[in-house]
Amino acid sequence: TLKLTALLLLSMMLSACSFLEEVNTSLDYANTATEHINNLTAFAEEAPQLVENALNNPEILQELENKVLTLKQDVEEFIALQDIPTIAEEIHQELVVQNEQLLQEIHKLLENGHLALDKLESSQLFTTIGEVTNLLNSIENLTQ
C-alpha cells in the first residue's frame, strides 16, 4: 500500500505540473498575442498622421515605409508561431486568418519593396487591423 500511495501521490504531482505548464503556456501566448495586437493598434493610431506628413516630406515617407516593413515582419512572425496552447487554438486560428489578410493588404502597399503611399490611403489595412483588435477580449479571457 505504501507503493500505491507513493504512485498515487506522484501521479497527482505530475497532473498538477502538467496543469501549471498549460496555464503558463496560455499566459505566455496571451502576452505574445496581446503585444502583437498592441503593436498593430499603435501603428493604426500613428500611421494616418505619418501619411499626411509623408506627402511633403521624404524622411517621414521613409519612416512610414520602415514601419510598414516592420509591421509586415511582425505579422509574418505571429503567423509562424508554434506550440499554441490547446485552450488558445481556436482564437489563434482566427488571429492567423486575420493576420494573413493583413499580410495581403501589406503586400498590396509595397511596390518593389517600397511603400506606395497612394495605395495606403485607400487600402483596407486599417479596417483589418480593427478586426484583429476586436479579438483582444477573447485573448484576455484566456488568462482568467
> What is the structure's pLDDT at 127?
86
Measured CA to CA, the distance from residue 117 to residue 30 in angstroms comes to 33
Mean of all residue pLDDT scores within the chain = 82
Dump pLDDT digits (tens) for 62-84.
999 999 999 999 999 999 999 88
> What is the structure's pLDDT at 118?
83
- CB contact at 8 A, 66 and 120: no
> What is the structure's pLDDT at 25?
67
- Asked whether the predicted pLDDT for residue 99 surpasses 90, the reply is yes
- Asked whether the predicted pLDDT for residue 10 surpasses 90, the reply is no
- Asked whether the predicted pLDDT for residue 87 surpasses 50, the reply is yes
- Mean pLDDT confidence for 37-61: 90
- CB contact at 8 A, 68 and 50: no
What's the CA dihedral at 51, 53, 59, 65 to 10 degrees? -10
User: Integer distance in angstroms from the first to the last C-alpha of the chain?
Assistant: 39
Dump pLDDT digits (tens) for 25-40.
677 888 898 899 999 9
- Mean pLDDT confidence for 120-132: 84
> What is the structure's pLDDT at 115?
87
- Mean pLDDT confidence for 106-131: 85
